[in-house]
Amino acid sequence: MTESWDPSDDGIVRFPSGVLVRGRGLRQALPAGPTPSFGVYLLGGEPPLTRWDARWVRWPDFRLPSDRRQARAAFEEALARAADERVEVACGGGIGRTGTALACMAVLDGVPAHEAVAFVRRHYHHRAVETPWQRRFIRRFDRAER
């Protein structure tokens, strides 16, 4: 079992179940301290290799995931692994796609879909989830095909 994140560190979101997930932007340097044991990377092109287990979700900037089922599976895996691993979710800037993914994970963890954007803006970044179509994706996420 891996130790969890320090809940006071930047980018750490505590979901209702108590699990911690780090959101961040890949254009910034890797934060000091422990590294993730699992990451979900939301990028239009393949992410750089990591020393930890990772999943790539093809997701162009300011858009939606290219494969919504694959995205959902990655979010479900990340949430499950966060119970006893250090999990991070990241895109280029760490706000739009990362915020959208964290909001979808919040829905999976029990936050009502219509409250998920506010939850992530309160607990992660005040500008998380950047586009109207990202907000709509989150509102419909709990009804999306599994």
Supply the pTM of this predicted model.
0.95
Q: Which residues pair with 14 in a beta bridge?
A: 20
Q: What is the CATH class of 12-143?
A: alpha beta
**pLDDT tier at 73, thresholds 50, 70, 90:** very high
pLDDT tens track for 37-58: 999 999 999 998 999 999 999 9
Cα–Cα distances (Å) from 138 to 3, 14, 42, 143, in that order, read 30, 18, 15, 10
